[in-house]
Structure 1
């Protein structure tokens, strides 16, 4: 699937402005956007947070929603993602982040007006949080595109190109055999996506070893590339657990 996307990458900027929302997202096929979505409130950087540095690549950050929603089902702040009224999510898109040299990543490049209800509705099944959509556009998207439609269109194209492994199976195997590692999960992602090497995948866990995110490293042309070393990522041999939900 990923290899087919690579053929279309030269046209990514053009497609991003017009790519329609997919009716059957890989991890939220049953999602139905509410009719009464509100516009988000604007978000601004703190003093010293603005960085307009050159872009050297990107990270596609995928959040494991089951872990995020553990204990949050009745939290009004997470109602769209965790309340199951829109559906039950597996992986969602946390964000598409421009990278810079070292840790000097560009962020908060321009003032961001509140997203329109149309933009929110088009992307709420990919990122089921109005607040998070606004945050990602303000902090990251303004460094990549002039319009939010372009930024989220590119993110949708990348997100929808992914094939996801059977997380329920992996979770149960890990419980039964105790052999699920971060490297094994990265291998599963690579096996399901031609052209996506294990070296381009980072696994993030919480302090108790439960999966929180999968991050995919991309070059300036949105092609997978080896991730830089990070002490925030689980090592390939680290034992991990996957929460299936309740």
Structure 2
């Protein structure tokens, strides 16, 4: 597993909630199909990914904890067990080092909690949504709620790039890992915002 250099300051603050960041893989892979470092996710050799786990992030009050000191690392076996939901061993290692170590003591616990949250979700038909005329962030939230009845609209963050293409869902949780209201930073696009969804074709 790669050695992950610390980028930014150590910030140890009380955890007030969590964010599960889910990248829209076709958008991420645009122009990355030939990159060796992104081969598993973007080459198409192992199928096409939809949403994938960017990371599970602890949140603080007005900030977030990061880079909490730890000597523990994600092992190759642990990373392999999560490649279907997070198809990059380097990404998993970095997410543990930057975020997970501020949540729990062991990387296997961090990865297990991430998988439990992932397995609890059902995703709307993004191919169909991508073809909808006048698609908005509100419509995506509505379809996500239809597929996940225990969720709430104000807990579904939608992040777009500057050209209006879907980049990421950021699902907001309280300390009890139940859906909770996102702050403005995580909520992202308002319901009225126009959205385009790249299908990777």
The two structures share one fold, judged by TM-score above 0.5: yes
User: Between Structure 1 and Structure 2, whose CA radius of gyration is higher?
Assistant: 1
Check if 1:193 corresponds to 2:148. yes
Q: How many residues align?
A: 201
For structure 1, list consecutive stretches of 5 or more residues without a partner in the other structure: 1-39
1:194 Cα shift?
1.4
* Equivalent residues of 2:159, 2:188 under 8 A apart: yes
| Distance in 2 separating the partners of 1:78 and 1:231 | 26
* Equivalent residues of 1:186, 1:198 under 8 A apart: yes
1:90-130 CA-to-partner distances (Å, cap 9, x unmatched) read: 0001111000001x211111234442111011111111111
* Equivalent residues of 1:127, 1:133 under 8 A apart: yes
Q: 1:95 aligns with which of 52, 55, 70?
A: 55
SS at match of 1:235: coil
Check if 1:181 corresponds to 2:132. no
Counterparts of 1:64-213 in structure 2, within 5 Å, are 64-102=24-62, 104-173=63-132, 177=133, 179-213=134-168
| Distance in 2 separating the partners of 1:231 and 1:189 | 17
1:140 Cα shift?
0.5
SS at match of 1:230: helix
* Equivalent residues of 1:60, 1:217 under 8 A apart: yes
1:231 Cα shift?
8.2
SS at match of 2:184: coil
Q: 2:13 aligns with which of 53, 61, 74?
A: 53
Check if 1:219 corresponds to 2:174. yes
1:230 Cα shift?
2.6
Q: 1:239 aligns with which of 188, 194, 199?
A: 194
SS at match of 2:53: strand
* Equivalent residues of 1:112, 1:138 under 8 A apart: no
| Distance in 1 separating the partners of 2:43 and 2:72 | 28
- TM-score w.r.t. the length of structure 1 is 0.79
CA-atom RMSD, angstroms? 1.4
* Equivalent residues of 1:52, 1:107 under 8 A apart: yes
Runs of 4+ aligned residues of structure 1 deviating over 3 Å after TM superposition are none
For structure 2, list consecutive stretches of 5 or more residues without a partner in the other structure: none
- TM-score w.r.t. the length of structure 2 is 0.96
SS at match of 1:60: strand
1:42 Cα shift?
1.6
